[in-house]
Structure 1
Amino acid sequence: MDEDAKVYVISVAAQLAGMHPQTLRQYDRLGLVRPARTRGRGRRYSMRDIHVLREVQRLSHEDGVNLAGIKRILELEEEVRAMRRQVEFLRTLVDPRRRVFRADPTGNVVADRLSPLADAPRPRPRWVPRQLTSGPTRRE
């Protein structure tokens, strides 16, 4: 079964989480857990919600974290998960063999040897010095 499927009514979710249903209502009001709602406004919890409820209980009882702290911890954990998903998505888009630029050890941006542009012929400058002692002249 899908861990995100919102199928458990509040009494079953409370039993699975080892809490009183009123505690789940309070956590919903505080935004610690966001169950889905039925048309009749009944709460439906997923297995993921139940895992979060167990984590809230563990942080509260074992680590002594207050509910405001727990809410912030859960928000930060979600941000980290979102960033990891974004990094993984970006990794699927970027092929390191096609990298065009990189930073050298001094921090300067340089064309990468693996880049198709690194080996491409470069256009000649519009001016070339006639001699080292004389200034640049324009080519016609």
Structure 2
Amino acid sequence: MHSYDEPVYLISVVATILDIHPQTLRQYEKEGLIEPSRTQGRMRLYSQKDVEQIKLVLQLTRKMGVNLAGVDLIIKLKNQIDSMNKEI
């Protein structure tokens, strides 16, 4: 079993799992919403944590109608809250 943060999924696998186009994943990366790992050959590898982040992006955009700039802000705020909770 792989750890939650271990990059193991290729872009095609993640796209199939989430039923989205690989270009959508590239766009999310370009927008800074996700940061997949890279192999030495520059292939993108995604962890389960990345997949969960993408699911959040999809939920915010598809179900709640938030644009990508709004998603970016929400994710940054969520990360700040998570960081503050760890300090407590």
Q: TM class by shorter-chain length?
A: over 0.9
Deviations 1:44-86, CA, capped at 9 Å, x for gaps: 1011111111111111011000000001101111111111111
RMSD: 0.9
Q: Tell me the residue number matched to 2:16.
A: 15
Using structure 2 for the length normalisation, give the TM-score.
0.93
Structure 2 unaligned residues grouped into runs of 5+:
none
Runs of 4+ in 1 over 6 A off after TM superposition: none
Q: How many Å separate the matches in 2 of 1:53 and 1:31?
A: 12
Identity %: 43
Q: Which has the higher helix share?
A: 2
**Where does 1:29-48 land on structure 2 (aligned, <5 Å)?**
29-48=30-49
Shift of 1:22: 0.5
Aligned counterpart, 2:68? 67
Looking at structure 1, the residues matched to 4 and 63 of structure 2 have their Cα atoms a distance apart, in angstroms, of: 25
TM-superposed CA distance for 1:2, in Å, is 1.0
Gapped regions of structure 1 (runs ≥ 5):
88-140
Structure of larger gyration radius: 1
- TM-score with structure 1 setting the length: 0.60
Greater RCO, CA 8 A, separation 6+:
2
Paired positions, count: 87
